[in-house]
Amino acid sequence: MRDFEYLPTKTVKEACALISQYKEEGKILAGGQSLITLLRQKLISPSYLIDIKGVTELDYLTFDEKKGLRMGALTTHRAIEKSPLIQSKYPVLSEMEKSVASVQTRNWGTIGGNLCSGDPIGDPAPSLIALNGKIKIVSSREEKIVPLAEFFTDYFTTILEPDEILTEIQLTPPVPHAGVVYMKFSTIEAGIKIVSTSTCIILESDKMTCRDARIVMSAVAPVPLIAKKAGELLIGKKINDDLIAEAAQLASGETNPTSDVHGSAEFRREIAKVLVRRAVKEAFEKAKRT
């Protein structure tokens, strides 16, 4: 690594002041699970590391029946996985977190750091987007709320400006007749994924007709991919196996994967089709039971 100056902080205000001062020369350090790898590989060479791990005001999980979930950016993956609140209100997040790297990584890595890394194969983003998540971004200049679906712009790239910090993830309260499912295909447990999908199906009161559908995939595009055509196909129709198969085929066609040592683009498209078909069917069954 190139030499850098280490700057620990204790408050959001202090962190905002430092990152505003150093901007392009500084980087925010949360858990460091992604950042340290980039430093070692010399893909980034900041002159200042601003450590926010000690900012305790960003480590929380709260829920309100009207406002929904509020999750601080420094909440660890393990805390989300084990939280009784998450398991009760948003169980898909607990299930998803079980597949994030190793227990050691989950004990230290943070949800905010994971999202800010912009990794196209990251696990949390698709599930949070499927849940219609939003994020709070703050700086010394302003504070704003942004849909998470608009946060990612390219490989390892987000809309964060050099002087901004992601501080909170927000989810709306759960709604009736909704089923949300996370599925991942990888060669080994907790290994590099080939494809994943997070699918949300919301039914009308008849528990057969789709009121809303969100199908989000990762590892098939530079950013978490929302299969808009597949989701639109389902909305307003009574769900059956033929419709699910058609939606899965559409979702596969919306992907833009690349080939690498883990799998070819063609293989990823086929796996995406299989996963989406299974996930939509399971989400539909879950929605019928709620």
Domain positions in the chain are 5-51, 60-171, 178-289
Of 65, 278, 93, residue with least CA distance to 175? 65
Whether the Cβ atoms of residue 223 and residue 152 lie closer than 8 Å to each other: yes
Q: How far is residue 62 CA from its own chain's centroid?
A: 18
Do the domains 5-51 and 60-171 sit in the same CATH topology, yes or no? no
User: 39-53, 151-165, 185-199: lowest mean pLDDT where?
Assistant: 185-199
Mean pLDDT for the chain overall: 95
The CATH architecture to which 5-51 belongs is 2-Layer Sandwich (3.30)
pTM given for the model: 0.96
- The answer to whether 208 and 238 are in contact (CB under 8 A) is yes
User: pLDDT, tens digit, for every residue of 250-282?
Assistant: 999 999 999 998 899 999 999 999 999 999 999
| Dihedral sign of CA atoms 96, 43, 74, 71 in order | negative
pLDDT in tens, 86-105: 999 999 999 999 988 889 99
- CATH number listed for the domain at residues 178-289: 3.30.390.50
Grouping H, G, I as helix, E, B as strand and the rest as coil, residue 192 is: coil
What is the per-residue pLDDT for 101?
85
**Spelled out in words, what is the top-level CATH class assigned to the domain 60-171?**
alpha beta
Question: What confidence tier does 203 reach under pLDDT thresholds 50, 70, 90?
Answer: very high
